[in-house]
Amino acid sequence: MKEDLWMNCNIKAVTLYDRPASYFKETPLDLRHRLYMKLAQDYEPFRARAEPVDPSAERSAFTERGGRDGRVLESRGRPALLISSTSWTEDEDFSVLLKALEDYERFIDEGAKLPALVCVITGKGPLKDYYNGLIQKLHFKHIQICTPWLEAEDYPLLLGSADLGVCLHKSSSGLDLPMKVVDMFGCCLPVCAIYFECLHELVKHNENGLIFRDSSELAEQLKMLFLEFPTLEGKLHSFRQNLRASQELRWDESWDQTVLPLLGHKE
């Protein structure tokens, strides 16, 4: 955008990138469990597949809290949690994700050692009913999809609890970057994002996520990232480690460093 303003409008600009607010961060396991149990009241994919052996224990699809010591652990064989967010407009073609999920299901049927998936697509918008109609026609054995509208305080908690984010935002101008990815990175959540011209300024391919161009490429990326899940080896883990190590500036700090000097602020 800085280059575009100079070339087309002869305007010299300083870039202030969007940064995540401080409440976008990784969610501790205990808070994750509480969130999962809350969502399980309304959304079946978050509910435990079986009752805990200890009747005093508490179990979600992903976690279990012991009845005696209250300790929270991730469930063995838990599904992977994939999240995307959208305003359900024509700017984002969610048929790309749905087709990739069909391929992912086929990979499992063919014997690939991949986890079951819970795919959560959050947001409201005009095309939500249309895509929900497409989702209802899918008959997956290993994938569950839900499209909740989350309370404002629950959205960053869910991002901080997920295993992978997916972004289908395409910039019509080729000059803007998706804020949803900024928030995901604030939560140290690796991302697969669909390609457009300036995306490389945010998503560093093979460093903090992956860039894809179509559904088949996304499907192959999901297969590669989730192979042998939840091992602490492989790309998915290294992307998260890179995001933890980078810990870029938050919004307030970025404003103070970039904008205040331009306003003649003395501090």
Q: Is residue 19 part of a domain?
A: no
pTM metric for this prediction: 0.87
Residue whose token pair is 């992307």: 239
The per-residue pLDDT for 265 is 56
Is residue 29 a part of any domain in this protein?
no
CA-wise closest residue to 200 among 177, 184, 230: 177
Tokens of 137: 């026609």
Residues 97-101 have a mean pLDDT of 97
**CA atoms of 16 and 260, how far apart (whole Å):** 11
Asked if residue 115 is part of any domain, the answer here is yes
- The per-residue DSSP string of 210-241 comes to EEESSHHHHHHHHHHHHTTTT-S-SHHHHHHH
Backbone angles phi, psi at 200, to 5 degrees: -60, -20
CA torsion angle for 257, 260, 264, 267 (degrees, to 10)?
-70
Quick one: CA torsion of 44, 103, 98, 96, rounded to 10 degrees? 150
pLDDT above 90 for 14: no
**Residue 254 located in a structural domain:** no
Distance (Å, rounded) from C-alpha 230 to C-alpha 237? 9
- Nearest residue to 161 (alpha-carbon basis) of 134, 180, 188: 188
Find, among 218, 212, 209, the residue nearest to 241 by Cα. 209
Task: Domain count for the chain, please give it.
Answer: 1
- pLDDT-based confidence at residue 84 (cuts at 50, 70, 90): very high
Q: In the prediction, which pLDDT does 254 show? A: 61
pLDDT in the model for residue 217: 98
pLDDT in tens, 169-210: 987 666 578 899 999 999 999 999 999 888 998 999 999 999
| Statement: residue 253 has pLDDT above 80 | no
Task: Say if 186 falls within a structural domain.
Answer: yes
* pLDDT-based confidence at residue 48 (cuts at 50, 70, 90): very high
Q: How much of the chain is helix, strand and coil, in % rounded to 5?
A: 35, 15, 45
Q: Is 33 strand, coil or helix?
A: helix
- Identify whether the C-beta of residue 168 lies closer than 8 Å to the C-beta of residue 97: yes
Asked whether residue 8 is domain-assigned, the answer is no
Report which residue type is found at 259. Answer: V
Structural domain includes residue 219: yes
105 and 139 in contact (C-beta within 8 Å)?
no
What CATH number should be reported for the domain holding residue 241?
Answer: 3.40.50.2000
8 Å CB contact between 265 and 219: no
Q: Which amino acid is at 122?
A: T
Residue count (the chain): 267
What letter represents residue 166's amino acid?
Answer: V
Cβ atoms of residues 2 and 13 within 8 Å: yes
Let me know if residue 256 belongs to a domain.
no
Q: Are 118 and 144 in contact (CB under 8 A)?
A: yes
| Residue range(s) defining the domain that contains residue 222 | 80-245
